[in-house]
């Protein structure tokens, strides 16, 4: 049985507290929404800490982002939520936050796209990085458009992450998976480099999705992560010999008139 609007308001307030307690947002960052029906969306207000909201702070908007109900101003990122709802009829909730390790990857220009962990490959495929776009404008969403049909979690360059799913809890758990995956990837890199799984193992994991009840449209046609075969062995990476390096330095010094 589907939940009442009162229950959905309560869910958003609860998830807001969790997102705040986990340190995925600071001050008034982040936003959460739930699609109520074909015409309306329940969303968080702007300029309110999402860890300290009451159910009466929430706003109901139409699919153009116009406020229908509520006393506060709606989130400034409603356009991103509405774009995702329009492109993904299967999605009923969207969560945007700035989890620090995943956002660190987004600020370093690094997608979380290596085939490292079975649960992440089964659940998310991989996590792409969308180009930066100015918050509060349509540019914020432009970089995500190629990824929204195929992915349930996206890093936003120099900004944060957005996750979505069939309810607000699934969106929250996907954000949790993204941040957990970012932390593990970071540790693996500190320990000498993350080692991707081979293509054959990734194929088996994709095939096993049905057993885990992974059924969203995006998840059945996931963006494939980068596998062992895609990663160049370090011996084939671009390396300079000593004489090549000296020649480059010589050229640079000549160009500046230091060497004749």
* C-beta closer to Zn ion: residue 59 or 197: 59
Instruction: Show the CA angle centred on residue 123, arms to residues 119 and 129, nearest 5°.
Output: 105
Q: Nearest distance from residue 198's CB to Zn ion, in Å?
A: 36
Encode 26-83 in three state secondary structure. Answer: CCCCCEEEEECCCCEEEECECCCCCCCCCHHHCEEEECCCCEEECCCCECCCHHHHHH
Count of residues near Zn ion by CB under 5 A: 1
- Which residue in the block uniquely carries the two structure tokens 């079975």? 118
Residue whose CB is nearest to Zn ion in the complex, by number: 160
Tokens coding 19: 């997102």
* C-beta closer to Zn ion: residue 114 or 156: 156
* C-beta closer to Zn ion: residue 118 or 135: 135
Q: Nearest distance from residue 60's CB to Zn ion, in Å?
A: 22
* C-beta closer to Zn ion: residue 91 or 157: 157
Q: Interface residues for Zn ion in 72-101 (CB under 5 A)?
A: none
* C-beta closer to Zn ion: residue 92 or 140: 140
Name the nearest CA neighbour of 163 among 155, 16, 223: 155
Rounded Cα gap, residues 158 and 132, in angstroms: 6
Q: Nearest distance from residue 69's CB to Zn ion, in Å?
A: 24
Rounded Cα gap, residues 201 and 98, in angstroms: 31
Which region among 80-88, 160-168, 184-192, 236-244 touches Zn ion (by CB under 5 A)?
Answer: 160-168
Tokens coding 49: 């800490």
Q: Nearest distance from residue 160's CB to Zn ion, in Å?
A: 5
Q: Which residues bind Zn ion (CB under 5 A)?
A: 160
């Amino acid at each position: 049985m589907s939940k009442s609007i009162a229950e959905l308001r309560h869910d958003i307030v609860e998830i807001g507290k969790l997102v705040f307690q986990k340190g995925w947002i600071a001050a008034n960052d982040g936003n959460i929404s739930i699609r109520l029906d074909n015409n309306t969306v329940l969303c968080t207000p702007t300029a309110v800490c999402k860890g300290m909201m009451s159910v009466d702070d929430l706003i109901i908007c139409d699919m153009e982002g116009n406020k229908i109900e509520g006393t506060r101003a709606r989130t400034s990122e409603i356009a991103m939520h509405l774009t995702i709802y329009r492109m993904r009829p299967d999605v009923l909730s969207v969560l945007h936050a700035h989890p620090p390790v995943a956002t660190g990857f987004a600020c370093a220009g690094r997608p979380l796209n290596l085939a490292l962990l079975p649960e992440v490959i089964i659940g998310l495929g991989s996590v792409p990085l969308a180009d930066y776009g100015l918050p509060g404008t349509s540019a914020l969403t432009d970089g995500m458009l190629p990824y929204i049909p195929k992915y349930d979690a996206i890093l936003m360059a120099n900004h944060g992450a957005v996750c979505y799913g069939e309810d607000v809890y699934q969106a929250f758990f996907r954000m949790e998976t993204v941040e957990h995956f970012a932390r593990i990837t970071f540790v693996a890199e500190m320990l000498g480099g993350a080692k991707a799984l081979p293509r054959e193992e990734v194929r088996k994991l994709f095939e096993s999705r049905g057993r885990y009840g992974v059924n969203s449209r995006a998840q059945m046609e996931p963006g494939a992560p980068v596998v062992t075969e895609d990663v160049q062995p370090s011996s084939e990476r671009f390396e300079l010999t000593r004489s090549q390096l000296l020649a480059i330095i010589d050229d640079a010094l000549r160009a500046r008139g230091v060497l004749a």
